[in-house]
Structure 1
Amino acid sequence: MQPLNLPTYKFRIKSSENKHFIFDIIRKKYMILTPEEWVRQHFIHYLIEEKKYPISLIAVEKKLTINKLTKRTDILVFNNKGVPNIIVECKAPSVKITQETFDQIARYNLKLDANYLITTNGLEHFYCKMDTKNEQYIFLKNIPAYSDN
């Protein structure tokens, strides 16, 4: 897998029947190692190891229903009261982050009402704080560490 614009981490990777799998410490199981999963696992470790978010507050592929359609957030981080705080949308490194990506995560946020939205393809990361009063995104250089929330 290609290097990403994130710190490197030690992952548990295994091969079986010509497929590669990566261990997800949140779901506690091996997942097929796709380019998007590579980005997701890096970002999970980034949140835990660099930003110090507790594993217990992170959900992966959390189901939500929007207009009778079932969707899944790539990464959802809750605050210590169990309220959604950060939604992360991961794309494969080959996928360009576009307005459509922001629209997707914004639709999820209509339901979840998180404070921060992040879109990443592992190479580019966009961090936004929601300004619900003025109905706009405020782009940030990074997201706050857990201790700063």
Structure 2
Amino acid sequence: MTRKQSGFTLIELMIVVAIIGILAAIAIPQYQNYVARSEAASALATIRSVQTDAEDIMVRGLEPKVEEAAAATERDLGIAADASSSGTISVANYTAAGVLDIVFTFNATGVSPQVQSTTITLSRDTDGVWSCATTIDQDFAPGDCTGA
């Protein structure tokens, strides 16, 4: 009487587990890199959303502010400093000549390790030209931002 084989052998199961382990070893770091790039792109999109408002406020001869405007010469950009759970938004280096920096600073925790405590800065020069700079590693930075 011959016995029919049913199920998998131990070696077959070990091969499947090894293949899954190799795939996971490759996929998890790639996924983490993807998350870091998407967090950086989201931060840039957040500050770009107020770029037009900042330009309009400056054309009117007023100072853009992230928090409530305290003086008659200041106007609120319409975004809270904590509008993103990934970090904070601030305005820096404003001058009456038209220079302005809108800065997104990532939190020290709660975001990908590749972007923790880094910044993305959207800058306007006196000619009205906007540029983007970042302290994020270029592997994770948005495409149109230059590294510091």
Same topology, TM > 0.5: no
- TM-score normalised by the chain length of structure 2: 0.30
Structure number with higher helix proportion: 2
